Amino acid sequence: MLWLHIGMPKTGTTALQGWLHSHADFLRDHGVRYLATGRDRGSGTGRLICHNALAVAMSRAWHGQPEGDAEAMASEVAAHEGAHCILSSEMFFGRDLAPLHQRYLSRIGAPLRVFVYLRRFDDFIEADYKQRAKNSLPTGGAERFVAERLARIESDPDYLDFGTAFDQVRAQLPGAEIVPRLYLRDEMADGNVIPDFLSVLGVNPETVPLPKVAANRSLSRVASEALGLFDERAGYDKKARRRLGRALQASGDARLYASGDVLTPEERAHINDTLEARNTAMRAEFFPGRERLFPAAATSAERVRGYPGELEDFHHAVRTILRIARAG
């Protein structure tokens, strides 16, 4: 069985990929193979990375990909016949996967299942904004970003319509089975994406050794925006900014963390109600026992956008980042 794990983004994919990368022996003992092909950047299996790089290569029309890599993947899957073989990249989500099928997957005889975690609509938009802000990508600020997303929801009937996305995947990957799962920690095996994903492959969640370090808390909106100021123009490349971000996550400073601070409660309710209705047919197909895909969002956010003290928290975040940068 070949599993193509496509995210979606902001559903614990990086943590899952890191765990799969570092637990090859456990996976082998449980009949699971995390494919090396596509994770070596063409340098050989001695320098594997955590995620599969084929999504990036696909966006470059396979330019520079090693000759014979497609045969290498087919051979790797064939060598682990009977195992669950995994290819994982959240960058496959929402992409045209036909080139991947043509070059790689069509050569593999094993059945294909496409696995995807689905995140609640408002949480996804919030996480998307914070990710863009801290990576110094253009957002126009939270209010404008949210207004643009609301406008897109109204004007684009396919936006965050998972049923339409799944239909496209079926057309691009003939014969593939779609296996969606909801990214709801209260419903996950052991409340964690790692044992939850492995449970789908038949691994007992109680046997899965979890990381000792807890998952990162979400940086606040203003802390994410402050981090985005430390870009190439300020002398910080992506690696340096990631180091700053990790240091912020590890700081323990409560003023730097918050959730529910990008959308207002009214925006959140509108987004969820509209997109729940849009996904009615998909829910009936894949989750027939649920009245809604996702529980209603909590109405009491820690810091609603525009709260008193927002500017002071932003300045505090900037000063904290400067202190960390100077100490490093």
Tell me the pLDDT tens digit for each residue of 43-62.
555 578 999 999 999 999 99
* Distance from C-alpha of 273 to C-alpha of 266, rounded to nearest angstrom: 11
**Dihedral of the alpha carbons of 157, 130, 19, 6, in degrees to the nearest 10:** 20
Compute how many other C-beta atoms are within 10 angstroms of the C-beta atom of residue 206: 9
pLDDT at 316: 97
Number of H helices, E strands in the chain: 14, 5
Alpha helices in 217-309 (DSSP H): 221-228, 238-250, 265-278, 280-286
User: Over 90: is that where the pLDDT of 213 sits?
Assistant: no
Tokens of 81: 């016949």
* Distance from C-alpha of 140 to C-alpha of 269, rounded to nearest angstrom: 23
In the sheet that 84-88 helps form, which strands lie side by side, from edge to edge? Answer: 32-34, 84-88, 2-5, 112-118, 177-182
What does pLDDT average to over the chain? 92
Alpha helices in 181-264 (DSSP H): 193-200, 221-228, 238-250
Half-sphere exposure of 262 (CA within 13 A, CB side): 32
User: Over 80: is that where the pLDDT of 201 sits?
Assistant: yes
Cis peptide before 8 (omega within 30 of 0): yes
Question: Which tops the pLDDT comparison, 327 or 35?
Answer: 35
* Distance from C-alpha of 20 to C-alpha of 42, rounded to nearest angstrom: 20
Q: Could you give the C-alpha distances from 270 to 33, 159, 266, in angstroms and in order?
A: 42, 15, 6
Lowest mean pLDDT among 149-163, 177-191, 203-217: 203-217
pLDDT at 321: 95
Task: Return the closest-CA partner of residue 244 out of 89, 123, 126, 136.
Answer: 136
pLDDT at 43: 54
Question: Which tops the pLDDT comparison, 321 or 44?
Answer: 321
pLDDT at 64: 85
pLDDT at 24: 94
Task: Return the closest-CA partner of residue 220 out of 194, 192, 251, 191.
Answer: 251
Band of residue 300 on the pLDDT scale cut at 50, 70, 90: low
Please name the residues in contact with 223: beta carbons below 8 A apart, sequence gap of 6 or more.
Answer: 248, 256, 257, 258, 313, 317
Mean pLDDT over residues 191-214, rounded?
Answer: 91
DSSP calls for 1-29? -EEEE---TTSSHHHHHHHHHH-HHHHHH
Contact 218, 312 (CB under 8 A): no
List, for residues 116-158, the tens digit of each pLDDT value.
999 999 999 999 999 999 999 999 999 999 999 999 999 999 9
DSSP calls for 78-122? HHTTTSEEEEE-GGGTTS--HHHHHHTGGG--S-EEEEEEE--HH
Band of residue 313 on the pLDDT scale cut at 50, 70, 90: very high
Domains of the chain, CATH where assigned: 2-121+160-207 (3.40.50), 221-327 (no CATH)
pLDDT at 238: 86
